[in-house]
């Protein structure tokens, strides 16, 4: 249990110390008017209080990610605690902060737009496609999953449940942000926090033996930690999906100094939630072996339901049902909303249209494939979300590094985690079953070589920026 408490304290300390350093490097300026005022349209650009924005951001980026992902990551043992803490403080929260703040500095621009500005138009085209695919996969998976659960516990059949959820998705995607999202999301965000705190309290006060990190139990099992753990636990450590959600809240912020609380703070809160559920997964079933059996029988949803009901009784059962139904829905709808916003920006460069027609034209192309994909097994869809998600995260970190480099700031705070995640995604795609399924040793070699190539590109960018700076410096003549 000492390891668990230490991990929580480190995350809190990371927010109190490292987030201020990150904010200083970025350089906030509250005298600059934010897009919520300069581009106010009562649809996406609407000023909101920071606490409401923080709760909405937490719900947007979390959903079931820090619950299901952490429970699956618990199979790797206490090493999961290390990844959540280090990943969250130095990669995930930095990723979320820069995705939100760079968007804010560019009038609430969407993720592909800011990627194009700092990594070039070719990368923008690729990321537009990858991001939209990720959004559609997430929205489809988070439509099908809750619909299946509703069909299993109520008289409503799967098709009807699917249609009802999807109609809600459409409303949340096209209505002004303060109509649905701004009103009910802070409540659901509170439920997510209460659920995690209640589970943590039950683990502590029922004297559950949360494992500590030791040499013997650091990583039980045969699955390699690298790079599988970094893809299994994404929400709670670092997740590219967040970079598509941060611009939604960037368009509602009243001043730049709120960014640390809204973006960095929400990610730290998600990390703590992931820690709690990872601890519950390792502890409740008597070790990783028992957890693996439970996952084989009931999947992550069954594991969450059993833990909640056993530790919290009737309240736990209600919370589990609310969580497994409401949380993915509240992530799926904002996935659809952000993809609508991305297409709106893309449409601006093709033809001009304004108002309601633009919203509808941007929603239909993402809504139809989402509905079609939602009719297939969502667990199959989820297999392809993991790598795509971390690829998006890696590109966002490189975007942050280039932003800082071009502005002559300490770019390594984004560059180092970007290199780390480059190694993760390059190795994973060659090793994973949904990738090329190559032997582990070969995958490591290929991943390392590709990461080294990217590192050389990074150094070349640094050298080039230094030369540009020198050439633009005034020459003093004696």
Domain CATH number, residue 134: 1.10.4160
Q: What pLDDT sits at residue 216?
A: 67
| 451 is a domain residue | no
| 321 is a domain residue | yes
| 458 is a domain residue | no
Range of lowest pLDDT (68-72, 326-330, 433-437): 326-330
| 47 is a domain residue | yes
Q: What pLDDT sits at residue 195?
A: 82
Q: Are 417 and 91 in contact (CB under 8 A)?
A: yes
| 433 is a domain residue | no
| 105 is a domain residue | yes
pLDDT band at 477 (very low <50, low <70, confident <90, very high): very low
* Highest mean predicted confidence (pLDDT) among 25-39, 131-145, 163-177: 25-39
Q: Is the pLDDT of residue 348 over 70?
A: no
Share of the chain above pLDDT 70, in %: 88
pTM of the model: 0.90
For residue 100, what are the domain limits?
Answer: 2-387
| 95 is a domain residue | yes
pLDDT band at 223 (very low <50, low <70, confident <90, very high): confident
Q: What pLDDT sits at residue 361?
A: 58
Q: What pLDDT sits at residue 352?
A: 52
| 424 is a domain residue | no
Chain segment 10-53, per-residue pLDDT in tens: 999 999 999 999 999 999 999 999 999 999 988 889 999 999 99
Q: What pLDDT sits at residue 356?
A: 53
Range of lowest pLDDT (68-72, 129-133, 182-186, 368-372): 368-372
Average pLDDT over residues 469-475: 71
What's the mean pLDDT when you consider all of the chain? Answer: 85
Give Cβ neighbours of residue 395 (< 8 Å, ≥ 6 apart): 115, 119, 123, 127, 240
The number of folded domains in the chain is: 1
């Amino acid at each position: 249990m000492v390891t668990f408490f230490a991990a929580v304290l480190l995350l809190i300390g990371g927010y109190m110390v490292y987030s201020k350093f990150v904010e200083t490097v970025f350089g906030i300026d509250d005298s600059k008017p934010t897009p919520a005022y300069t581009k106010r349209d009562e649809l996406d650009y609407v000023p909101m209080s920071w606490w409401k924005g923080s709760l909405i951001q937490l719900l947007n980026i979390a959903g079931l990610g820090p619950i299901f992902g952490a429970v699956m990551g618990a199979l790797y043992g206490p090493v999961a605690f290390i990844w959540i803490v280090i990943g969250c403080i130095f990669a995930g929260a930095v990723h979320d902060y820069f995705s939100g703040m760079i968007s804010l500095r560019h009038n609430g621009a969407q993720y592909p737009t800011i990627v194009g500005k700092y990594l070039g138009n070719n990368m923008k085209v690729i990321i537009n496609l990858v991001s939209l695919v990720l959004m559609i996969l997430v929205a489809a998976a988070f439509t099908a999953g809750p619909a299946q659960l509703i069909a299993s516990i109520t008289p409503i059949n799967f098709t009807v449940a699917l249609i009802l959820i999807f109609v809600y998705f459409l409303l949340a995607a096209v209505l002004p942000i303060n109509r649905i999202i701004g009103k009910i999301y802070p409540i659901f965000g509170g439920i997510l926090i209460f659920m995690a705190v209640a589970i943590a309290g039950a683990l502590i006060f029922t004297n559950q033996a949360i494992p500590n990190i030791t040499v013997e139990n650091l990583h039980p099992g045969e699955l390699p930690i690298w790079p599988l753990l970094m893809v299994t636990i994404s929400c709670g450590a670092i997740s590219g999906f967040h970079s598509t959600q941060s611009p939604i809240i960037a368009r509602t912020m009243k001043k730049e100094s709120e960014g640390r609380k809204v973006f960095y703070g929400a990610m730290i809160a998600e990390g703590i939630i992931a820690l709690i559920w990872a601890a519950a997964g390792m502890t409740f079933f008597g070790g990783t072996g028992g957890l693996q059996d439970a996952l084989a029988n009931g999947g992550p949803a069954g594991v969450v339901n059993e833990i909640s009901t056993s530790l919290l009784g009737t309240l736990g059962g209600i919370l589990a049902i609310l969580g497994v139904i409401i949380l993915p829905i509240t992530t799926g709808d904002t996935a659809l909303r952000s993809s609508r916003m991305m297409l709106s920006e893309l449409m601006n460069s093709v033809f001009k249209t304004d108002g309601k027609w633009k919203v509808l034209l941007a929603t239909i192309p993402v809504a139809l494939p989402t509905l079609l994909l939602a009719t297939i097994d969502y667990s199959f869809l989820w297999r392809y979300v993991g790598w795509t998600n971390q690829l998006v995260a890696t590109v966002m970190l490189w975007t942050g590094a280039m932003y800082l480099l071009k502005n002559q700031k300490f770019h390594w705070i984004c560059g180092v985690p970007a290199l780390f995640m480059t190694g993760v995604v390059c190795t994973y795609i060659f090793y994973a079953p949904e990738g090329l399924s190559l032997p582990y040793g070969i995958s490591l070699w290929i991943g390392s070589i590709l990461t080294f190539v990217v590192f050389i590109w990074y150094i070349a960018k640094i050298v080039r920026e230094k030369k540009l700076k020198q050439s633009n410096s005034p020459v003093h003549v004696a």
